[in-house]
Homo-oligomer: A and B are copies of this chain.
Amino acid sequence: MSVPLYEAKAELFRLLGHPVRIRVLELLQDGPKPVRDLLAAIEVEPTGLSQHLAVLRRSELVTARRDGSTVVYALSGGDVAELLRAARALLSAKLSGRHALLNELLEEETGQR
């Protein structure tokens, strides 16, 4: 094995570790979109968006095809949605953990004493 699997996983996660790239992937889940639309939906300079798109292209998470004078991006194959879903689930578990703790604290306050 030339690249151990855990290295590949780490790299995948590292690629996902930027808000603009997350936004792009989320937007592309509703189907292919021209750069123009992404640019309108995300707060970022054109040049910055291009750079993030380049990262996603190099890692083959998205594909680009030229259509006239615009470029259209799409998710390529693999189930990115699943990953994003798992991330959301984990985050909400963490937040509701906090909530539960908060409730416990409140009970203690109001209950005895």
Q: Which residues of B contact A90 (CB under 8 A)?
A: 12, 78-80, 82-83
Give the distance in Å from the alpha carbon of A10 to the alpha carbon of B23 in the complex.
9
Tell me how far the C-beta of A3 lies from the nearest C-beta in chain B, rounded to whole angstroms.
Answer: 10
13 additional A-B residue pairs with CB within 8 Å, beyond A9-B91, A12-B91:
A4-B19, A6-B26, A7-B19, A9-B16, A9-B88, A10-B19, A14-B14, A16-B17, A77-B94, A79-B89, A80-B90, A82-B86, A83-B87
Give the distance in Å from the alpha carbon of A1 to the alpha carbon of B113 in the complex.
34
Copies in the complex: 2
Bitwise interface map of A from 1 to 45 toward B, beta carbon under 8 Å scored 1, else 0 = 000111111111111111101110010000000000000000000
Q: Which residues of B contact A26 (CB under 8 A)?
A: 6
Give the nearest-CB partner of A42 in chain B: B6
Kindly identify, within residues 79 to 102 of chain A, every residue whose CB is under 8 Å from any CB belonging to chain B: 79-80, 82-91, 93-94, 97
Q: Which residues of B contact A82 (CB under 8 A)?
A: 86, 89-90
